[in-house]
Amino acid sequence: MLEYHIDFQGQSRAEVITQGLITTFGVVGFLVGLVLQDIRLSLFIFAAGIVLAGLLVIPAWPYLNKNPVKWLPSRAKAALEQEKSTVSSSSTGSEKEKVA
Amino acid sequence: MNSLQNRANSVMAFSLSAIFCLLGAIALSALLIPSHPSGSVALDSIKVVTGRYDKNWVDYKTRDNQFANTVMKIDADLSSLFHWNTKQLFVYAVAEYSTKSHPKNQIVLWDSIIKRKSDAVIKKQNINNKYSLIDVNRKWTDVEANVTLHWNIVPYVGFMTYGHSQSSGGYAFPLPSGIQK
């Protein structure tokens, strides 16, 4: 599936950008339309805000992925690697101790 | 906001909420914009004729229903009613009178839809009434009518607002003096 995940800071930033941009364009559009007495202009400005917010936030841009979550290494993988390095001691029963 | 669909959804959802606020603000702002419309209607002549009730609804029994034919003069400047939320104006001239059996009667004599500010200055003479002027009792005895120009602002979004000019008044209806074709 097309998921394009972003990290947690990116999500918070994306939300702030969406709400801030659309609200700002809405307010500016209202004021410009009121002053120039043009309802069409006001709605076009608002629509531009939506498009801009969508472009900035919907694709997983790199700036939304600056702080990826650092996971701990997988236990199974670590165990496997350790087992490889200590092939000589071929006891399977002691594996649990090593992992712990 | 973690996946693509999630972000698209939240942008759409927030913009939907925001556009309702924007449209609400536009609707409310339209109520506060000042305007100074002026208008007047005058009847140059009234003639009462008798005839059948209606061309389409033929009343064969009687031909003595009394219709009033008027000639109107309309003078109005409604251009200040065109603000950013005005889609069109509906302008109509109303005759208002009272009879013994019906204390308040209002009949539309003429109407018009105005779509542009440049058309909002109305100066018309020799307008015949567009709609039949006939009383419920089908007789015009001892009736005096006022005529008023009404207007209705149809907005793009928000509230319908209404207004009217001062009624010009006291037109007495004469006795029948002819037969309607």
* Least confident window among A23-37, A77-91, B22-36, B115-129: A77-91
* Residues on chain B touching A30 (C-beta within 8 angstroms): 22, 25-26, 29
Least confident of A13-27, A52-66, B17-31, B164-178: B164-178
Residues 6+ apart with CB under 8 A from B67: B48, B49, B50, B51, B132, B133, B134, B180
Query: Residue B63: its pLDDT value, please?
Result: 77
Listed by number, the residues of chain A in 41-100 with a beta carbon closer than 8 Å to a beta carbon of chain B are: 42-43, 46, 49-50, 53-54, 57-60
Q: Examine residue A96 and state whether it is found in any structural domain, yes or no.
A: no
Residue A13 belongs to a domain: yes
For chain B, the residue count is: 181
Model confidence band, residue B59 (pLDDT cutoffs 50, 70, 90): low
Percent of chain B past pLDDT 90, that is, above it, reads: 69
Q: What is the pTM of this model?
A: 0.78
A53 assigned to some structural domain: yes
- Looking at domain B35-172, its CATH architecture is Sandwich (2.60)
Which of A3, A4, A26 is opposite residue B22, by nearest beta carbon?
A26
Q: Using 50, 70 and 90 to split pLDDT, how confident is the model at A97?
A: low
User: Domain ranges in chain B?
Assistant: 1-32, 35-172
Q: Which residues pair with B90 in a beta bridge?
A: B113, B152
pLDDT confidence of residue A76: 87
Q: What is the pLDDT of residue B29?
A: 95
In chain A, the number of structural domains is 1
Q: Which domain holds residue A27?
A: 1-68
Mean residue pLDDT across chain B:
90
Within a domain: A85: no
Amino acid at B166: Q
Complex ipTM above 0.90?
A: no
Distance to chain A for B35, nearest Cα, Å: 14
Establish if A94 belongs to a structural domain.
Answer: no
Residue A78 lies in a domain: no
The answer to whether residue A44 is domain-embedded is yes
Residue A76 lies in a domain: no
Contact B84 A37 (CB under 8 A): yes
